[in-house]
Amino acid sequence: MKKVNALILTGFGLNCDEETAHAFRLSGAVSHKVHINELVSGKVKLKDFQILALGGGFSWGDDHGAGVIQALKMKNHMGKDLLSFVDEGKLIIGICNGFQALINIGLLPGFDKDYTKRNVSITYNDCGNFRNQWVHLTANPKSPCVFTKGIDMADYPVRHGEGKIIADQAVIDRLIFENQVVFQYADEKGVPAKGSFPDNPNGSMADIAGICDPTGRIFGLMPHPEAYNHFTNHPDWPRKAELLKRQGKSLENEMTIGVRLFKNAVDYIKEAGL
Amino acid sequence: MIACIEIALKKELRDAEGLSLVGKAGSYFGITIQEARCIQILTIESDLDDKALERARNEIFTNPVTQISSLRPLDIGFDWCVWVGFRPGVKDNPGATAMEAIRDHIGKSFESNEGIYTSKRYCLKGETLVREDVEKLASELLSNSIIQQFRIFSKEGWDKTRGADVKPAKVILDRNPCFQIIGIDSDEALAKISNERNLALNPRDIPVIREYFLSRAVLDSRREKGLSKPTDVELEYISQARSDHCNHNTFRGLFRYRDAVTGEEAVENSLFKTYIQEPTLRLKDKKDWVVSVLWDNAGIGRFDDQNNYVITGETHNSPSNMEAYGGAITGIVGVYRDPMGTGLGSKLFMGSFGFCVGDVNYNGPLKPPLHPRRLLDGVIEGVKDGGNKSGVPTTFGQTLFNPGYMGKSLVFVTALGIMPDQVKGKPSHEKRTNPGDLIIMSGGRVGKDGIHGVTASSESYSENTPAGHVQIGDPYTQKKMHDFLLICRDEGLIHYLTDNGGGGLSSSIGESARFSNGCVVNLDKVPLKYEGLDMWEIWVSESQERMTIAVKPEHLERFMALSAQHEVESTVIGEYTGSGKLHILYKGETCAYVDMDLLDKGFPAWEFDAVWLAPEKRGLTEPAISSPSDFNLLLLHMLSRPNICSKEWIIRQYDHEVQGGSVIKPLTGMKYNIPSDACVTRPVLSSKKGLAFSQSLLPWYSRIDAYHMMTCTIDEAVRRLLSVGGDFNHIGGVDNFCWPNIQFDEKKNPDGKFKAAQLVRACRALKEACEKYGIPLLSGKDSMYVDGHLEGAFGERIKVSALETVQFSATSVIRDVSTCMTLDPKASGDLIYVLGKTANELGASEYYEVFEKIGVNVPHVDFEKFKVVYKALQAAIENRLLASCHAVARGGLGVHLSCIAMAGGLGMEVDLSALPTDMSRGGLNNETLLFSESAGRFIVTLPSGNKALFEKLFKGMPASCIGFVTDKHDHLKIMGTDKNPLIDLSITELETAFQKTFGDMI
């Protein structure tokens, strides 16, 4: 069977490449960490891969807006390659800083498949500070998103200072109406946070934590699924493990909901035969 | 041409920075601002035309969804406007990335006379605001005069077309670089020059230096290179190398120790050799996991059969004290270069912090450079930006408050890296330079940064004078360099590398050239931030984010290609030789030529008198305080005290999970808000092994005896590690000493001899603890002058000294992270045990601090007895008998039972009369049992089914069941020694007290 090749961007202050590569590996893909300049110079070709991951970090120090300079650089030097990548039905995921870059390139939300327009913004958290905490997410079952197939709820950590999604109300309404909203911040029961802090950690409009394009093949989210690559990543694991132990059970062999998200992508490529 | 782009958020959007300013103006100064809006300004000096500028503004710097911008001043209304910009030469990170963006997008490269400078404008509305208020905000909140300048505009004084009229903050030195010959005709002459040039040469070193330069052989060999008397470059080199910072003269000094009561006298020839080096080397022989200690930038321990971990800890106290943000970010980014520069280079995988500051609510007459509140805000933010932007999780940290730290605050930063044990088939921890290797400097450029802080501040000031002595770290540049160097390492291109920190090239090249025994350096090749630096300045500048690397000529091409790909600047600046000489040239002219072994030429050791007076002889006694009658109120008060209460807001600002290996986080419990004993990380994601890390700080005990401060600090760090599942057979230590001045001076430092004795005692304790617990010291540092001379109410200056402080860090490797423990009780019906005896040891406790007492019964550590319990505990955890485990620390059982109750969210019923006790230091009543800080104790919970096995394991040891966990109620109920209810508080009440002190901080 053909291997699924995932390209994970590195360089210029990006920093989640190691664990993103690890999560793809656990999902059955071959992970390739590639410096942005290797794509810019043409040494590495985007077309040789089926999944592109723009991971978390502080590209260009987040100066002049998170993900702004990365987006500019990618648009300037590989804009066409990105559009053909999308045209070929391949997958793109942007996490945290990568999500911010996708938004600034215009790959998201991609209304009417126009992948160059910036009509959503991710700005400073309402709480006024960078924040690291775990959040509860509820997934939209009607979303076409390839990555969240079969996932109804997920816990992941957020780690950002600029994670508040804002746009004109009409844009937000359209995202909701067209089921491009993939993840929303919620309480532990899965009820949307309705803006309340800290369930909604940044004040994001409509509790939006992640969105996809109309095809569901481009996905961006602020929380970090790759940071839940092992059962011991979840903050509740010691308690859950102890209580399960008393029932003769264990947490150890379950695939985490973090890895599930990457596996969905890898499985999709396998099934599509790309 | 100079252009300014002004950028602001659209009016309808929340301006988080403005809101924060409104909040702080109110809570810090009682100044009411109705509205504050922040404008970012880019001042661009370039040949870009209007069209190109308009493109840059529109396509790069303005977010179409959220921002407005203009090449003219934005018309945003205000009553007062404050403009704040950097002084020339201060690292302007966003200015640099703006140039990168324009280069990429518009294709414009910036020449040396061009640049981009960022600044800000705050538009304040407030009917009651007057100029004095605005000046206060500008100088005490929005800017620090060391690195920034501000201007204030009133509504009336504002010119809408000129705006703030921001000029480029560029450095113009306008001078030809040169070096000087220094006269050394007499000791006095050299001493005078040392004074004038701020060389800080020790008077006792001066004759040695003169003797060297006046010797016939030296004069002859120098003549060949056109030199006679020493040059300023050479004297600066010696000054750097002999400084306490680089040479650790205090720890290598001679101490005449005398116990004033017993008359015991001892001569300590070198605290370092006796108490650190010797025991560590002995332990290295016994512990096969110790890979490399005592010589490199950081120590190395084995993680698994393919990987080693690297650790070191630093402080960055003095700079943080002057410019808190800049000092702290430079500190953490700087300590991250140590593991990067250890062996052939390691990948950073975690960091930690320790902040010791004065009272944040201080309102007395003393005037520290920065108020403790502002200082704490700044250091928190500095570590936040430095750590987060480095992509390294900050997984542990503590914050302490004590009035002594107002004299000088402490900022501890610790860094850990991971490296494959082999690189291209060779051990990665070994490195050396060889004749013929090229000397390469990679990373940032060189400016006047960090050169002789004091001289810089006393230079006459002009608009273009660089404010270089306080730095701002640049994690972005360093992260690029980190990624680049790891790839070079794996390709086998690096033969030696080290960081440029204190002493700059002078230290990094001076030390690395000792392996090859010589070097030739061409200072004119060193890339500069701006022209006009003298040779000695290039040589000793401490400009950050630089590494020095030895590369073989045949690898140069590949090294440079990778450097270009990663957009890291690398320059060949010389060559290692075997000549026995340190040879420095500038454009072909020799400006330094000295023997490599010059520093071994018998420079005299520093000497100190140390006189010890036992606490009883200093008049310390136990205080006379009767038993309180309201223990509920007392416990709630204890929980709300600054040194006990929740500091969640700090840790939440730090990314503590990046790299995906988080196992035990810094905060834990049902609500994720109780500080963990230690953290555990998986640095190798494919492995189930974990690295446990803990730190302890107990400086209060130094008020009684620094010996016990040291033993208790180490004991606590060990117990914290064991609590999360650490392995007692693998504990690595890092000691970070911060001590007030110990050099006796009748007028300036009358208690210097006592503080010197405290240091000797702490070192003795360090050795004892390390030997008894089997802890090799993987790394350590000292910072010896933690005093401040603060101005008081009447113009007098008062010396304020920090407590004698040691931060002890400890590491352990956990075989299988699934055995890791947290401190929260997990199920109703579980039994609560306390391990270890409680004694009457309230000396210097948090409890006595409530009443501003010290006492004398400082906790003692009984290593042999404790060790037995610790090993049993490790077995209990490895055999999965326990549900939770917590080390009892500051505040004693009362505080720590509360912590686990809050973490578990379940009720607990506890009986103090069941505690294992030790009556040898006096009687025990309810308050001693609750708040004594006796060492060696844990609180554990376990399912009742494990009782028999557990008790068998702990047979003959102090381990007693003191109560149980319940879901019948959600209270912490404690019964006193008389079996009557003493405390009954709901978890909500405990939480309210624990959270309220800093509760509104996010």
Verify whether the Cβ–Cβ distance B565 to A37 is below 8 Å: yes
Of B566, B672, B685, which has the smallest distance from its Cβ to A11's Cβ?
Answer: B566
pLDDT class for B461, splitting at 50, 70, 90? very low
Structure-token pair, residue A19: 């664990």
Q: How far is A108 from chain B (nearest CA, A)?
A: 14
pLDDT class for B456, splitting at 50, 70, 90? very low
Summarised one tens digit per residue, pLDDT across range B348-358 is: 999 999 999 99
pLDDT higher at B473 or B831: B831
DSSP class of residue B731 equals -
Of A58, A118, A232, which has the smallest distance from its Cβ to B65's Cβ?
Answer: A118
> CA-CA distance, B8 to B68, in Å (whole number)?
6
Tell whether the model's pLDDT for residue B510 goes beyond 50.
yes
The CA distances from residue A4 to A39, A269, B238, in Å, are 19, 7, 59
> At residue B372, what are phi and psi to the nearest 5 degrees?
-50, -35
Summarised one tens digit per residue, pLDDT across range B931-941 is: 999 999 999 99
Summarised one tens digit per residue, pLDDT across range B296-305 is: 999 999 999 9
The proportion of chain A whose per-residue pLDDT surpasses 90, expressed as a percent, equals 96
pLDDT class for B459, splitting at 50, 70, 90? very low
As a whole number, the mean pLDDT across chain B is 95
pTM listed for this prediction = 0.96
Nearest to A16 by CA among A57, A51, A71, A61: A57
Of A61, A68, A167, which has the smallest distance from its Cβ to B476's Cβ?
Answer: A61
The half-sphere exposure of B192 on its side-chain side, counting CA atoms within 13 A, is 8
| pLDDT score for A203 | 97
Q: Which residue of A has its CA nearest to B672?
A: A235
Place of tokens 């040469």: B201
> CA-CA distance, B351 to B475, in Å (whole number)?
14
| Catalytic (active site) residue A19 | no
Q: Residue B783 in contact with residue B327, Cβ under 8 Å?
A: no
Quick check: do B2-154 and B823-1002 share a fold? no
Is A194 in CB contact (< 8 Å) with chain B?
A: no
Q: Which of residues 152-211 of B touch A (CB under 8 A)?
A: none
Is A127 in CB contact (< 8 Å) with chain B?
A: yes
Place of tokens 């494919």: B686
Q: Residue B76 in contact with residue B158, Cβ under 8 Å?
A: no
Structure-token pair, residue B346: 């390691």
Q: Which CATH superfamily is domain B2-154 in?
A: Phosphoribosylformylglycinamidine synthase subunit PurS (3.30.1280.10)
- Domain residue ranges of chain B, discontinuous segments joined by +: 2-154, 823-1002
Summarised one tens digit per residue, pLDDT across range B771-789 is: 999 999 999 999 988 999 9
| pLDDT score for A261 | 98
Q: Which of residues 830-889 of B touch A (CB under 8 A)?
A: 880, 883
Q: Is the link from the previous residue into B604 a cis peptide, with omega within 30 of 0? A: no
pLDDT class for B322, splitting at 50, 70, 90? confident
CA dihedral B955, B956, B958, B959 (to 10 degrees): 10
| pLDDT score for B452 | 67
Verify whether the Cβ–Cβ distance A246 to B654 is below 8 Å: no
Q: How far is A239 from chain B (nearest CA, A)?
A: 6
Is B928 in CB contact (< 8 Å) with chain A?
A: no
| pLDDT score for B251 | 95
Complex prediction ipTM: 0.97
B876-904 in b/e form (b: 16+ CB < 10 A) is: bbeeebbbbbbbbbbbbbbbbbbbbbbbb
Q: How far is A245 from chain B (nearest CA, A)?
A: 10
| pLDDT score for A106 | 96
As a whole number, the mean pLDDT across chain A is 96
Tell whether the model's pLDDT for residue B457 goes beyond 80.
no
Verify whether the Cβ–Cβ distance A227 to B16 is below 8 Å: no
Q: Strand pairing of B148-154 and B80-86?
A: antiparallel
- CB pairs below 8 Å between A and B: how many? 194
Verify whether the Cβ–Cβ distance B66 to A123 is below 8 Å: yes
Is B724 in CB contact (< 8 Å) with chain A?
A: no
Q: Which residue of A has its CA nearest to B40?
A: A64
> CA-CA distance, B115 to B110, in Å (whole number)?
6
| pLDDT score for B468 | 57
Summarised one tens digit per residue, pLDDT across range B419-453 is: 999 999 999 999 999 999 999 999 999 998 878 64
Tell whether the model's pLDDT for residue A41 goes beyond 90.
yes
Summarised one tens digit per residue, pLDDT across range B136-171 is: 999 999 998 888 999 999 999 999 999 999 999 988
| pLDDT score for B246 | 77
Q: Residue A155 in contact with residue A137, Cβ under 8 Å?
A: yes
pLDDT class for B460, splitting at 50, 70, 90? very low
pLDDT class for A201, splitting at 50, 70, 90? very high
Mean pLDDT of all residues in B219-240: 94
Nearest to A261 by CA among A110, A137, A108, A82: A137
Is A242 in CB contact (< 8 Å) with chain B?
A: yes
Q: Is B747 helix (H, G, I), strand (E, B) or coil?
A: coil
| pLDDT score for B201 | 87
**Residue B555: burial class (beta carbons within 10 Å; 0-12, 13-18, 19+):** middle
Q: Which residue segments constitute the domains of chain A, with CATH numbers given?
A: 5-272 (3.40.50.880)
Tell whether the model's pLDDT for residue B486 goes beyond 70.
yes
pLDDT class for B602, splitting at 50, 70, 90? confident
β-bridge mates for residue B355, sequence order? B399, B411
The proportion of chain A whose per-residue pLDDT surpasses 70, expressed as a percent, equals 100
Tell whether the model's pLDDT for residue B244 goes beyond 90.
no
Residues of B in contact with A233 (CB under 8 A): 657, 660, 662-663
| pLDDT score for B151 | 96
Mean pLDDT of all residues in B592-616: 93
Choosing among 3.40.50.720, 3.90.650.10, 3.40.50.150, 3.40.50.970, the CATH entry for B823-1002 is: 3.90.650.10
Q: Which of residues 23-82 of A touch B (CB under 8 A)?
A: 23, 35, 37-38, 41, 56-58, 60-65, 68-69, 72-73, 76
Verify whether the Cβ–Cβ distance B660 to A226 is below 8 Å: yes
Verify whether the Cβ–Cβ distance A166 to B64 is below 8 Å: no
Tell whether the model's pLDDT for residue B595 goes beyond 50.
yes
Q: Residue B191 in contact with residue B201, Cβ under 8 Å?
A: yes
Categorise residue A163: left if φ over 0, alpha if ψ from -120 to 50, beta otherwise. alpha
Verify whether the Cβ–Cβ distance B653 to A60 is below 8 Å: no
